[in-house]
Structure 1
């Protein structure tokens, strides 16, 4: 089964930066959490914070069914030849691995220039490796039209981050049929609206300084005023879900109706701990099958 078949990774997955941390003392909890996500029925684990392929290895070993993906691996921080070799070393587990690739952001990357050309060159090297990474096992973190065109031509599809249902619909049109669309969706499960907005603004702060995101939000109809002072309520409500599991289910349905094959849920908490209780709650509320 190729990645282009939507049920290959299910309808809903989990996106987590914490599951990609390399802290030795944290790894047993990571593996235990991954095994539980597998049992709960989620289709994929997307590893945030630009992880290398190696971060997927212990989670693949701890699970039996679920797909593990990089969400995303920065092409500026890794050599394509090394990445291809590491994917080849996964052996049979490579069938449950997805290589998510992205070009990161200028303010975070020394020497950042010509990101589209950088991605194309990285893909060239993956194709030229002794054991190439198949196109159907890689996706690109594409937001703008040129990167989306590259994703459609040279990968299984796109894994966009911090987007709206409108962006999902535009992306589906740009990718065309038969390509995988797996947007991330951030959620704050908190019935206290004021506290939820505080958590959301703290989370969003770093992204408000990254032009790849802010330019995309402006293309979607948000204004400079929406981007000021930590983000307007309109921006928060457009990009994230603040509320309960029913609210999350409603937005996930909107993403699917707009053309998403799979939605990667990122639970946002005010502390830096794995949101395992929230994952359980959402597993009972969302269409995982």
Structure 2
């Protein structure tokens, strides 16, 4: 495999403090990238700072840091710090996030998500290049900010993008697009919006478990919590799942969580979650790559008798492909 092969850190079954040993093992297993996330667990940047020391040589990426929960200048300072720790190996992934995370959890107004993401991208481009920025953007104004120590090589910036407008922005002004919760066939739809030359990155949830019913039971909870978020609902409407997911949305809106879970068809779970034995999972991941995914970010989820540690090892690129 010549494309990137990423892993989500920290792991679902342990804290960041308990992740050092397995993170350090990733390069030898063949993983090229480690990517963080930022929801309600570890923040999106501290794990990368540690991984820069624990796993020298791998590419480090945030997938993603919301543009509204930190000020633009703080984002620039954080990115410059990571770029200094891992020169030319850090990729800053930013995105609009969701009303729940921005407003309900961080007490920040969630407005004009597209414009805020675009403006933040443009500000970061200038700030990380070492420029003094005094600029009135559509969603905020910066007066006289300049990094004390700009990185010698500015980090790449990639955007979380789920629909055509943001995907086109990622292709035109950023260095790549990050997406989530999609099938191998969906990759073709997304790729068509960004063209062949833009890096496409996606987090893939993987359960190394041959008990399909057990996987589906776990996965339905995860899917319901994401697919009912407005941005993801619109994403799957665009991908052609509006009708098949309508019962889910209606039950969720009515407050009937159990009915909502039952309303997610097996075929939707199987399309969006990679599961089976390790060989089956690797073959499924390869389909994503064959359809145009440059960087799969694997996120092993617990299930069955295979531990997360073993899943991480079993999902690595096979030796003859390294």
Q: Same fold (TM over 0.5)?
A: yes
CA distance, structure 2, for counterparts of residue 135 and residue 165 of structure 1: 32
What do the CA deviations read for 1:72-101 (whole angstroms, capped 9, x no partner)? 111111222112222222325132211111
User: In structure 1, what is the equivalent of residue 133 of structure 2?
Assistant: none
**In the alignment, is the contact (CA less than 8 A) between 2:10 and 2:19 conserved in 1?**
no
CA separation of 1:288/1:48 partners in 2, compared to 1, >3 Å: closer, same or farther?
Answer: farther
Q: How does 1:164-183 map to 2 (within 5 A)?
A: 164-183=183-202
The Cα RMSD (Å) is 2.7
Please point out which of 150, 158, 166 is paired with 1:147.
Answer: 166
Equivalent residue of 1:265, what SS? strand
Give the alignment partner of residue 250 of structure 1, picking from 283, 289, 293.
Answer: 283
Query: What secondary structure does 1:160 align onto?
Result: strand
For 2:213, which of 148, 171, 194 is the aligned residue?
194
Counterpart in 2 of 1:278? 311
1:224–1:180 distance in 2 versus 1, CA, 3 Å: same
What is the distance in 2 between the residues matched to 1:146 and 1:101?
A: 16
Separation in structure 2 between the aligned mates of residue 133 and residue 175 of structure 1, nearest angstrom? 28
Q: 1:288 to 1:140 in 2, by over 3 A?
A: farther
- In structure 2, the residue matched to 1:3 is none
- CA distance in structure 2 between the aligned counterparts of 1:114 and 1:251, rounded to whole angstroms: 36
Instruction: State the SS of the aligned residue for 2:87.
Output: helix
- SS state of the match for residue 76, structure 1? coil
Q: Does 1:33 align with 2:22?
A: yes
Native 8 Å contact 1:126 1:133 kept in 2: no
Is the alpha carbon distance of 1:185 and 1:287 closer, same or farther for their aligned partners in structure 2, counting shifts above 3 Å?
A: farther
Match of 1:101 in 2: 94
What is the distance in 2 between the residues matched to 1:84 and 1:261?
A: 26
**Count of residue correspondences:** 277
> Are positions 1:159 and 2:178 aligned together?
yes
Q: Which of residues 290, 294, 306 is equivalent to 1:261? A: 294
Q: 2:5 aligns with which of 12, 15, 19?
A: 12
SS at match of 2:316: helix
Structure 1 residue 17: Cα displacement: 5.3
User: SS state of the match for residue 287, structure 2?
Assistant: helix
**What's the CA shift for 1:112?**
1.5
